[in-house]
Amino acid sequence: MVYGIKLSADNDYAATYAAVDTYEEYGLALAFAPFSISAPEVRTEYKEVRGMDGALDVSESPQGYPVYENRTIKLRLFKAVRPFMACDIDELMQLRTTFLARWQGRKVRITLPDDETHYWVGRLSVGDLETDSNFGFFDCEAVVYPYKLKNESTAVEITDLTTDWQTYTLTNERRFVVPEITIEQNTDIQMLQGALSVPPEVNLELPSGETSATFRLPDTLLIEGTNQFRAKVATAGTNSLTITYREGTF
């Protein structure tokens, strides 16, 4: 079976995801080798303190989780050619020119055939055109965000809030993420666990004259796995809120 990769321009993590398949669009298939995705490398930082043995490890985020360097994806795209036909060289050169014009140096989303529910995001570089008796090919390299991200954001709508605390559950993949919380009336919310401790209660208030508002707050950080939180409204009304976040994994 022959597969391409899916590419799309990335302007914003929340942008609509519309991809081009390199095999369908250009006849360029993904080669089995060479192919590699570097492992996530932990970013470390140590502080030496006068009079103290060793050094302080301050590598983790303020919320207490490890952070990672960008990763590198290396892959080869190839196209079958008719042996010893000069016109194929012309076609390959034009194909590469077309591909370069659209993708060279762009920040892109890359979907690989092993997982079409997630994408990698990073800057793409296209290498030299090379040929042999059967194929024309060029290598590509992308420096990407450490996690591959879900194609679609996770959006959880809650419609049964009351003036008493109620508990709800959110599930999240490996990446720690701060969600967007959209309210339609004044709402209190509290995460029931965190990376370091139980976060405080947070009061979310609508700006004067507004019927909805969206917040991103460090105290609502979602960790890997199951996240419980509780919420209540100040007075009975629409009794709803929406929590939106982009999940990611290695």
Same domain? For 112 and 11 the reply is: yes
109 plus 226 within the same structural domain: no
pLDDT at 81 over 70: no
Q: Is residue 1 part of a domain?
A: no
Instruction: Tally the residues of the chain.
Output: 250
pLDDT digits (tens, 9 = 90+) for 211-234: 999 999 988 999 999 999 999 998
Tokens of 114: 């092993």
Q: Same domain for 140 and 185?
A: no
Last residue of a domain, which of 149, 166, 195? 149
> Between vectors from CA 103 to CA 100 and to CA 109, what angle results, nearest 5°?
155
**54 CB-near residues (< 8 Å, 6+ apart):** none
Residue 202 to residues 186, 192, 205, 236, 242, Cα–Cα distance (Å): 11, 12, 10, 18, 16
Three-class secondary structure of residue 151 per DSSP:
coil
Same domain, yes or no: 169 and 104: no
Residues 28 and 65 placed together within one structural domain of the fold: yes
Residue 28 belongs to a domain with what CATH number? 2.40.30.200
Query: What whole-number percentage of the chain has pLDDT above 90?
Result: 69
- For 238, the domain range is 154-249
Per-residue pLDDT tens over the stretch 95-113: 999 999 999 999 999 999 9
